[in-house]
Chain A
Amino acid sequence: MALDQSFVGRTYPPTAPYEVGREKIREFAEAIGDANPAYTDPEAAKQFGHSDVIAPPTFVFAITFKAAGQVVQDPQLGLDYSRVVHGDQKFAYTRPVRAGDRLTVTSTIEAIKSLAGNDILDIRGEVHDEAGEHVVTAWTKLVARAAEEG
């Protein structure tokens, strides 16, 4: 089922702040098997010029994708989430995410396309800190694969 084009350009309200915890960063770094000390040792992070431990580059996706849930689960949009796969992902960083950040995400639907029965949805998530400064922008392309015949 083709998605409603009128959703293109729609921006959802900013999320409630997500507080980035040191131990959450550690848990994430362990899950991806990455022993870089900048993720777990505040002193090592300081030697790189960071005021506290920083998060791996892809960590913020957990926050932006949760925010994109507003879009994905919007019943008016009608996306079949059970058939959704991740198409593309991109991040542009003003600075790394670090422990103690309180981050909000503002999600915007950038594009909706239908290609060979697949619904393709481009969502941009702008991530800001408590001071309102930009931290990172995440672009997520989701593809709802066409249902098979029969």
Chain B
Amino acid sequence: MAAKIAYEDVEVGTELPAGTFPVTRATLVQYAGASGDFNPIHWNETFATQVGLPDVIAHGMLTMAEAARVVTDWVGDPGAVVEYGVRFTKPVVVPNDDQGAVIEVSGKVAAKLEDNRVRVDLTAVSAGQKVLGMSRAVVRLA
């Protein structure tokens, strides 16, 4: 592994550079194709509303992937991630317009662990609501 951040250079509370990730209906179609997740709640608003959702929602795994970028962009080597978990607390609602939705992700070092590993806690917000809870990554630093 070849993380570009050194363990001794971070401390509890160190903030990672934040990220802003736009998500449109086109993003969802592309993600559906790439991931193989064709659940119609992610592209068909008639279906989505019939099953009780407010509108089409983003794939939770797309939100999880975007949140991870704040970590992998920070360390450089994505292979440095040794654990990553999230709870999907609120859906990212994606309206059928040019704007779509925006996911804002921030992260900070929450704990320094053994073997040059640190735990990073992430926060992901869309439309003013936290869309991920318990969002944590363990990363091995240089």
Where the two chains meet, the residues of A that have a C-beta atom closer than 8 Å to any C-beta of B are 27-28, 30-34, 36, 38-39, 47-50, 54, 56-58, 61-62, 65-66, 82-83, 85-93, 95-96, 139, 145, 148
CB distance from B131 to the nearest CB of A (A): 12
Q: How many A-B residue pairs have CB under 8 A?
A: 111
Q: Are B37 and A62 in contact (CB under 8 A)?
A: yes
Chain B residue numbers with a CB within 8 Å of A49 are 1-2, 77, 79
Q: Are A93 and B69 in contact (CB under 8 A)?
A: no
Instruction: Give CA–CA (A118, B126) in the complex, Å.
Output: 25
Of listed B31, B41, B51, B62, residue having the most chain A CB within 10 A: B51
Q: Are B88 and A56 in contact (CB under 8 A)?
A: no
Instruction: Give CA–CA (A48, B98) in the complex, Å.
Output: 38
> Would you list which residues of chain B between 26 and 40 have a CB under 8 Å from chain A?
27, 30-31, 33-37
- State which of B21, B35, B41, B73 has its C-beta within 8 Å of the C-beta of A62: B35
Chain B residue numbers with a CB within 8 Å of A57 are 65, 68, 72, 78, 81, 84
Chain B residue numbers with a CB within 8 Å of A139 are 85
Question: Which chain A residue lies CB-closest to B21?
Answer: A33
Instruction: Give CA–CA (A36, B81) in the complex, Å.
Output: 14
Instruction: Give CA–CA (A83, B40) in the complex, Å.
Output: 11
- Known interface pairs A30-B34, A31-B33, A65-B37. Does A89 touch B64 (Cβ–Cβ under 8 Å)? yes
Chain B interface size band reads: 35 or more
Question: Which chain A residue lies CB-closest to B79?
Answer: A96
CB distance from A52 to the nearest CB of B (A): 11
Q: Are B134 and A88 in contact (CB under 8 A)?
A: yes
B104-137 near A? 1/0 per residue, CB < 8 Å:
0000000000000000000000000000001000
Q: Are A90 and B69 in contact (CB under 8 A)?
A: no
- State which of B36, B65, B76 has its C-beta within 8 Å of the C-beta of A32: B65
Q: Are B65 and A92 in contact (CB under 8 A)?
A: no
CB distance from B130 to the nearest CB of A (A): 15
Q: Are B51 and A83 in contact (CB under 8 A)?
A: yes
- State which of B34, B66, B83 has its C-beta within 8 Å of the C-beta of A91: B83
Q: Are B2 and A88 in contact (CB under 8 A)?
A: no
